[in-house]
Structure 1
Amino acid sequence: MEKFLLFVIAASALLGISSFAECAFYFVYDQKTWTEAQSYCEEKFNGLAPINNMEDVEILNNHGNLSKMLALDGNNLAWIGLRKDMSIFVWSDIEFYEDDNTMFRNWKSGEPNNFHGIESCVIMRDDGLWNDYPCDSTLNSVCYERVSGSTVNFVFIDQKMNFTEAQTFCREQYTDLVSITTSSDNEKIKQLLPPGSPAWIGLFRGYWELLNGSKSTFMYWSEWQPDTEKNCSAANFQNSGKWEYSNCDTRMSFICNTPVLKQVVRVKLARSSSLDLNDPAVLEDLLKKLKQKLKDQGVSEDFSLSWRKQPDGKIFYKEEEEAMKTTS
């Protein structure tokens, strides 16, 4: 790569500098409910922290002060920026549900109606139609067992359990509570039910999404289970930062999403040859050298550099071009 000199007037471009705190998250060791924590983080920062990948989890595990949390109230949990959308039904064995509207459903007329606001789990009636139903009711259930590939067996469980108990039983003894994706499977399961004996199937309310409304495929739950009384999420720092359902009114520490500080500066370069300053390889090499120069001048390593493109797609302009662009 050809040698270049920095900050000498010849050609110019806009360089974006994004600087970060030591980590992208800010722990607050103050006891607040989930709603209070979210309001605090929105006012001071960028809302409660979204956790998008294992790198985020590792950052949180490295920076969370578990001793401080435990000293406050013995709680090892901290609120994070994930909420449950109770308008969407998901299957027990599917953690990520992108398009609920395209899936097979066999609701009884007028269902689901969430009667009295407490019907978050789903049963199949002996006529094969579905109702939403209170999750703490004790009923029979239908499990499924994966035999090989797409081949599964449906198993009627003649034992009264609430939804969570049925789900746990099916996961321990078989594969999971049954998911029903076709009318033919629905008919097979209907034939298993004794007259007057409705049973749990694996459908329940509660789709988890990031606070900005985006849907993430990344999940890091301690265990995947529905809980109609606990609709907020927290990271457990005695369990590798894994997520848990928590009552939204519980007071605990929380994690805010810190804003990224951005600055745009004009860079002027002198070149000694016909080097193409809009060549991607050249631009990448320039960024590396600029970053090293900033480090040598004492700037913290916690920053990134990027070029800002002009409307015509160019990054660099010769000095005379810049003058013409400014006056036109």
Structure 2
Amino acid sequence: FCVCGVSAYVPHQYHFVNESKTWTEAQSYCRQNYADLVSINNMEEMKKLNATLKDTPRSLVWIGLEKGNTRKWQWSLAEGNVPSERDAYRNWSLGEPNNSGGKEFCVAMKKTVGTWLDDDCNTLRKFMCYDTWRGAQSYCRNHYTDLASVRNQTENQQIKTAAQAPQDYYLWIGLFNDSWKWSDQSTSSFRYWAPKQPNNYDGKENCTAVSVTTPGTVGGWYDVNCEVKIPFICLEKLILIKQNLTWSEALRYCRVKHVDLVSVHSEEIQLWVKEVAQNASTEHVWLGLRHTCTLSFWFWVSGESICYQNWAPGNGTGEEDCSPVERTGAVQARGGQRWVSLPETQKLNF
């Protein structure tokens, strides 16, 4: 394993950095010391982030969302990085989407026929009660899961039928259009904008910060000038590299391309490691664990002390056979997924 920011649904940790930097400076810091600026995939992760920031005195904190040059249609209910059936299904009315007035970035369904049109997100429309698109999104997330996604004609018909009313009206669905993208290249469509955001107030607000102390909008997102200097949140993730390398080669690979081989200094991290290791193509997966024959003890190459341990029976005793090569630590990819001592010349995933 090595720590790097790639897949949206690999387990991760948040790290609040109480240093004021521009968005670009914060991105560079996170990439050098952790994985990347934080990306957020769903309400559960948003709540976890808010808990991390609850005692933070600053009003705004950078996250990894920035404005790109290309808009695309995506669903409010994020499904991570894996393309799904719903990404291909569209049911536009004739002549739609037309972006009338240059500001139609949300989608409504015509109840009588079930076809869609793009609309101004601030228009008051029904979703079960009148509200703007973002108001409808907030209501659904607070009381249910999210605004409806539509994967196929059957689901489109179900939504049309569920919207029982005699009059011919439009109702919001979860499709929207924007050009925002995540620093770590994840494709999550999750957004959590504060009311009337993003507004691009000075024409230069191309980066995103989360509100920490603003009354009524704590946790909400604001578009902010990228040159403003504020604290930020870094993200740390585990990713499995399915290449068979020696321990030293794996260590070099991680330090050059990512951060380091993983150190397992708590039961929580061990659980993360177990979840990802089961997808390995080798029976064991390298850890950042090494034995010194000179002093006869094990240590993490990242510098953390070995407090938490999860050795398989007969391993990790300190009295290792150092001939002809040093011993290094790996985790079993399946079964009990305990740690084992192996010669550093063995070639494994990491």
Tell me the TM-score normalized by structure 1: 0.49
Select the structure that is richer in helix: 1
Higher relative contact order (CA 8 A, sep 6+): 1
Select the structure that is richer in strand: 1
Q: Which has the larger radius of gyration?
A: 1
Tell me the TM-score normalized by structure 2: 0.46
